Amino acid sequence: MSRITLEKVCKSYGAHGVLHDIDLDIEDGEFVVFVGPSGCGKSTLLRQIAGLDRPTSGDIRIDGKLVNSVPAADRGLAMVFQSYALYPHMSVRQNLAFGLENARMPRAEIDKRIAEAARMLEIGDYLGRRPGQLSGGQRQRVAIGRAIVRNPTAFLLDEPLSNLDAELRISMRAELSALHDRLKTTMIYVTHDQIEAMTLASRIVVLRKGRVEQVGTPLDLYNRPANRFVAGFIGAPSMNFVKGSVVEVGEAATSVSLMGTTVALPRPAAGAVAGQTVSVGLRPQHISLAGDGEAGVPVEVALVEALGSETVIHSRTATGERLQAVLAGQHALRTGENVRLSFAPDDLHLFDEGGLRLA
């Protein structure tokens, strides 16, 4: 178990800054997911924590102890690599034992730990095989097993599921979650897949261009994104953004004009002023077909994706805005058809022109 603290961590390669002033406090036993688009610095950040790379400035502490200059092996952490990084010329058993042999652990203890990990991960049947003789999922388990036998204070996982097919990824995701529940060890997980982040994390750290955009629980990020980037990144399909302008700011409500109509948000928009141009966010799942007599935004259907349990429609409003909606169930809609879409004002998110959340 360990608590990991990052204070003003920066990393640059020459003049190129990759991480900028990262402050983060990871609690004991947490499952924290670093998520962000490719090149945002999430793997680089994980490597700083692992000790495979040194920060240009700032401090990394594990259980309060400064570890900036502590070698990777002495930080008490274990890492699972994206490519698994299993030694191809060694058997599964040798792969699991390798790190323990380095620590000159007694053979009996090594065998005991391997047996325990093999039982936990159900890899006992292929301890004698080489990684090349295993499927992707089996290799993944071995890579996790190699981390488990070291009995680390925290696991670092660098996109461990990205090489698996979609079906296996879903089952391994559930297994990882169960493993965390069982081990109750701190886990830091890197992914670019926001669904993985949402399903696994106790807290998510959203990164962009080497900066932390928001830290919070999955539902915090979904319900109250701190900025337009987080709002667009978390949730699938992505949030719709339409142009709007503030009509009136009250103590309990904010009126906004958008898509040719005026809507009253039942909450104040701190810092907003009447006439201000804003970006209004609306999740596709929060849009429905307007019923007879119900107010709604008229749109023309551009594309219909019938997925069985839900229907995704891509549409265009009279003012030229694009709206994507996820409608529960099956709907007999056709391309070119005119329909009206409705939404609850409470589900709208307001962002200023700089992308920061107003309400």
Partner 1 sequence: MSNRHEGKEALPASRLSGLMMVPVKAVMQVVDVPLRAWQRLTGLTGMASFFLLPNMAVFGIFVLVPFVINFVYSMTGGSEIFLAQRFYVGAAQYRDIFDCRSYLDPSSCVEDGFWVSARNTALFVVVQVTLMILVALITALVLNREIIGRSFWRAVFFFPVLLSPVVVGLIWRWILQRQGLLNLVLYDLFGFEPYSWLTDRNAAFAAAVGVTIWARVGFFALILLAGLQAIPKDLYEAAEMDGTRRTRVFFRITLPLLMPNLIVVLVLGLIRSVQVFDEAYVLTGGGPGTSTMYLTQYIYEKGFASDLRDPGLAAAASILMGAVLVVLTLVQMAASRRNEKQGER
Residues making contact with partner 1 (CB under 8 A): 50, 52, 71-74, 77-79, 81-83, 85-89, 98-99, 102-103, 130, 132-133, 146, 150
Residue environment code for 184-209, b if the CB has 16+ CB neighbours within 10 A, otherwise e: ebbbbbbbbbbebbbebbebbbbbbe
CB of 199 to partner 1, least distance (A): 26
Task: Report how far residue 67's alpha carbon sits from residue 95's, in angstroms, rounded to the nearest whole number.
Answer: 27
The residue among 75 and 203 lying less far from partner 1, judged by its C-beta, is: 75
Task: Report how far residue 269's alpha carbon sits from residue 191's, in angstroms, rounded to the nearest whole number.
Answer: 33
Helix orientation angle between 136-148 and 166-183, rounded to the nearest 10 degrees:
20
The residue among 153 and 311 lying less far from partner 1, judged by its C-beta, is: 153
Find out whether 48 and 9 touch, Cβ atoms under 8 Å: yes
CB of 47 to partner 1, least distance (A): 8
Task: Report how far residue 94's alpha carbon sits from residue 271's, in angstroms, rounded to the nearest whole number.
Answer: 61
The residue among 152 and 235 lying less far from partner 1, judged by its C-beta, is: 152
The residue among 18 and 50 lying less far from partner 1, judged by its C-beta, is: 50
The residue among 131 and 218 lying less far from partner 1, judged by its C-beta, is: 131
CB of 71 to partner 1, least distance (A): 8
CB of 132 to partner 1, least distance (A): 4
Give 57's strand partners.
Answer: 10
The residue among 87 and 322 lying less far from partner 1, judged by its C-beta, is: 87
The residue among 79 and 230 lying less far from partner 1, judged by its C-beta, is: 79
CB of 164 to partner 1, least distance (A): 17
Provide the total of helices (H) and of strands (E) in the chain, helices listed first. 8, 20
The residue among 50 and 272 lying less far from partner 1, judged by its C-beta, is: 50
Counting Cβ atoms within 10 Å, is residue 243 exposed (0-12), middle (13-18) or buried (19+)?
middle
CB of 102 to partner 1, least distance (A): 5
214 CA to centre of own chain: 11
Q: How many CA atoms lie within 13 A of 110 on its CB side?
A: 15
CB of 312 to partner 1, least distance (A): 30
Q: How many CA atoms lie within 13 A of 211 on its CB side?
A: 4
- Name the amino acid, one letter, at 205: V
Task: Report how far residue 97's alpha carbon sits from residue 304's, in angstroms, rounded to the nearest whole number.
Answer: 54
CB of 206 to partner 1, least distance (A): 26
- DSSP symbols for 267-327: S--TT--TT-EEEEEE-GGGEEEPPTT---EEEEEEEEEE-SSEEEEEEEETTS-EEEEEE
